[in-house]
Amino acid sequence: MTCQSIKQAKNASRVLTNVSATIMIQGTTSDAGKSMLVAGFCRCLKNQGYRVAPFKPQNMALNSAVTKDGGEIGRAQAVQAQAAGIEPNVDMNPVLLKPSSDTGAQVIIHGKAVSDMQAAKYHDYKKVAMQAVLDSHQRLTNQYDVIVVEGAGSPAEINLRKGDIANMGFAEAVDCPVIIIADIDKGGVFAQLVGTLDLLSPSEQNRVVGFVINKFRGDIKLLEPGLIWLEKRTQKPVLGVLPYIHNLQLAAEDAIQAEQNLHPQDIRLRICVPVFKRISNHTDFDMLRLHPKVELIFVPQGSAIPGCDLIILPGSKNVRADLALLKEMHWDNDLQRHLRYGGKLLGICGGYQMLGNSIADPEGVEDTPGVSQGVGYLPINTLLQHQKQLTQSQGRLLLPNKRTPNVPIRGYEIHIGTSERAADARPLILLENGESEGCISDDNQVAGSYLHGLFDGPEALQQLLLWAGANTELVKDYDEQQEHEIERLANACQTHLKWDLIESFIQIQLTAPSLASESISSTHGAKNHV
């Protein structure tokens, strides 16, 4: 396909009413690269002049973002929206599930929590959820040329096929083509792809238009015999082999990223984050992990918190249960020792609540009704309530620093309940609406805030590190850093994927929507071996 034909397709789509294209990325496994590939597609298509939007029908994740209108969506969809050059909104992730236990989750529809459900109850609720998914998809198709959809987990999970709204159930409902991605770094990539395809129904197999292999290392010529076999075996084209992109630092959907490449002589500050069972929004620490002078250690359950300059208690989806875990792991003793030796302690959201005197949940909003005693380092008491706070906030950081006091800070709040500070307690942040937020102890050793994203702005990051004991230089802000990584990803996608073939699936839908399904089916055969 030439650039001129691409432009003609886009222009034709805008002449027609509500004509758009949908293409879906599904994976052979969780963490196969779906979120990453959707972001790459969004940026490549944006660069080609398409009006493009990301979409994930159903997301199960504890990393979330707040939209400007006060809705909650998966963090990955916010990054994908940035890749598309648009503001994220709740239609990009109409169903978000936030696990609160091994069998239950909070169900969020169109950005708002509707209920806490056990797995069996949610299975019965899927018909309602599916309608929310289709409504959101329709609204996006009315606004954009191309919708790039991310699946969830694997489409071949037999026990989840009935009533599916996240993978092939959605693809069948909207009649869109599907690309399947597999991670070769995990091993067994051909078994992953062939096995996944074989477990699909005939109609689902027919809508798979090709494969992408992710994270390849080495000489591509050594892989080519396998690619030829795969295309002959499945009669589906390999649409590209993406190389392993070293140190790609996109916000993770759920998996904690701990990789760092620091020289010991460069480290000025050591920070430890205990990993709770229901840790949430650990993307809060991405800018710390990427800082060239900061060693960030995620402390697993069962390990003591080692000596460091700063301990950060992260957010939690089940704060009282994770507070109990903190005590069970004897991390409360580690905190006491850390403060005795002059270290600093910071709590974010649920971690902030734990630092107070008490957390009351009289109605059982998160778990069993009751009251838990906090670790008692901040003069606050927390009451958990059903109403969730979802806001984007900005203000001034009130850390005691005579050189550059009151630096700007921004973030977002995602929490249930409120924390009441003692009348004489010092706030950590002064919000632009005049309200005080967070708390800092009189001895300046312990602080807490509800704001996620505390470290995302360069000035606030520098001041918080200075408070913790290290004078560091300014670095990029979070959005700038993500923009750099998105461009790296897009360059790899543009170079290593067969965009002429991928865009043909889009052009068919834009120029001949009534014939799209039949036309796409006719392109499924593997015509050009790699």
Active site residues: 349, 452
Rounded CA-CA distance 518/523 in Å is 9
Nearest to 110 by CA among 82, 138, 85, 142: 138
Rounded CA-CA distance 369/170 in Å is 38
Which residues are within 8 A (CB) of 246 and not within 5 positions of it... i.e. 6 or more apart? none
Instruction: Please report where in the chains the tokens 């500050």 appear, as a residue.
Output: 269
Nearest to 39 by CA among 144, 141, 149: 149
144, amino acid identity = Y
Rounded CA-CA distance 215/246 in Å is 9
Written as one string, the DSSP assignment of 293-331 is TEEEEEE-TTSPPPS-SEEEE-EESSHHHHHHHHHHTTH
Alpha helices in 89-118 (DSSP H): none
> How many contiguous H segments (helices) and E segments (strands) does the chain have?
16, 26
Rounded CA-CA distance 238/254 in Å is 28
Residue 514 DSSP class = G
Rounded CA-CA distance 491/521 in Å is 29
Nearest to 416 by CA among 117, 132, 89, 100: 100
Within a 10 A sphere around the Cβ of 19, how many other Cβ atoms? 18
Nearest to 509 by CA among 211, 209, 237: 209
Rounded CA-CA distance 413/398 in Å is 18
| Token duo for residue 394 | 């900005």
Angle CA(48)–CA(524)–CA(3) in degrees, nearest 5? 20
Which residues are within 8 A (CB) of 322 and not within 5 positions of it... i.e. 6 or more apart? 276, 277, 278, 279, 316, 350, 354
Please say whether the beta carbons of 492 and 2 come within 8 A: no
Distance, CA of 484 to chain centre: 17
CA dihedral of 480, 42, 493, 175, whole degrees rounded to 10: 160
Please say whether the beta carbons of 72 and 96 come within 8 A: yes
Please say whether the beta carbons of 416 and 365 come within 8 A: yes
